[in-house]
Amino acid sequence: MKIQKEKQNRYEIRFSGSGGQGLITAAVVFAEAVGVYDGKYVCQTQSYGPEARGGKSKAEVVISDQPIDYPKALELDLLLAMNQAACDAYFFDIKANGLLVVDSSLVEQYPTSRIITIPFTQIAKEEIGRELVANMVALGTIGFLCGRVDLANLEKALLARVPKGTEEMNSRALQRGIEEAQKIDVQGLPRAVMSEDDDL
């Protein structure tokens, strides 16, 4: 049996990769921008293993114009995969015509042709000078592509969270991510094979 589509305007993003890549931080900044600054309803959750560094890590943000009942993602509108394992594990959670964004510096095998590939880590390392800010480059890209956040507010939220003295670097990373996203022709991406009306 199929569930009739609800009317609420729900948008789901998952940030995934490994512990230490700053995915939870990126999700928190995003949620703060959408919730505190844009004034929308937002839920941010995460799951992680026992490792402080290196284990599987994922963080989710659900955005809506109405109160959010289920706080976790159900069908992803956008998946960010910052390594191959995350890409493989979560690709099937993306809804038809959802977006898959991968860090092409770390993901080699693409599960679909409907994919956006940007070398976040390489950009962070070579252009910004710190590999650590790859998450913020990705955040910029996602902020632009999802179209659900005011980019000025995204930067405000970012600057409020990052350590003193690193504002300029983080801000530059975010802008680079936005620039990369601007180059993408989302409409020109191949359509998903599965239609939204297919059975569950």
Partner 1 sequence: MMSETTTPRRLLQGNEAIVHGAMAAGCRFFAGYPITPASEIAELLSILLPAADGTFIQMEDEIASMGAVIGASLAGVKSMTATSGPGFSLMQENLGFACVTETPLVIVNVMRGGPSTGLPTSPAQGDVQMARWGTHGDHPVVVLAASSVEDCFSITVKAFNISEKYRVPVILLSDEVVAHTRECVRLPAQTEIKVVDRIRPSVPPDWYKPYEGDSRGVPPMAALGDGYRHHITGLIHDEHGFPTQNRHEIERFHKRLTKKITKGFSDIQMSRGFLLEDAEIVVIAYGSVARPALRAVEDARRQGVKAGLLQLITLFPFPRGTVSTLLKQCRAALVPEMNMGQISREVQRVNQFDCAVVKHNRVDGQFITPLEIFKHLIKL
Q: How far is CA 13 from the centre of its chain?
A: 5
> Residue 112 corresponds to which tokens in the numbers above?
């679909």
In the set 13, 26, 42, 149, which binds partner 1 (CB under 8 A)?
42
**Shortest Å distance, C-beta 4 to partner 1:** 4
Q: Using DSSP bridges, classify how beta strands 11-18 and 56-64 pair: parallel, antiparallel or unpaired.
A: antiparallel
Contacts of partner 1 in 49-88 (CB under 8 A): 49-50, 68-72, 74
**Shortest Å distance, C-beta 126 to partner 1:** 32
In the set 45, 84, 117, 153, which binds partner 1 (CB under 8 A)?
45
Cα distances (Å, whole numbers) of residue 140 to 2, 143, 152: 36, 5, 11
> Residue 75 corresponds to which tokens in the numbers above?
């069908």
Q: Does 6 bind partner 1 (CB under 8 A)?
A: yes
Q: How far apart are CA 135 and CA 47, in angstroms?
A: 17
**Shortest Å distance, C-beta 44 to partner 1:** 4
Q: CA torsion sign, 72 to 75 to 81 to 85?
A: positive
**Shortest Å distance, C-beta 14 to partner 1:** 14
Binding site for partner 1 (CB under 8 A): 1, 3-4, 6, 28, 31-32, 35-36, 39, 41-50, 68-72, 74, 200
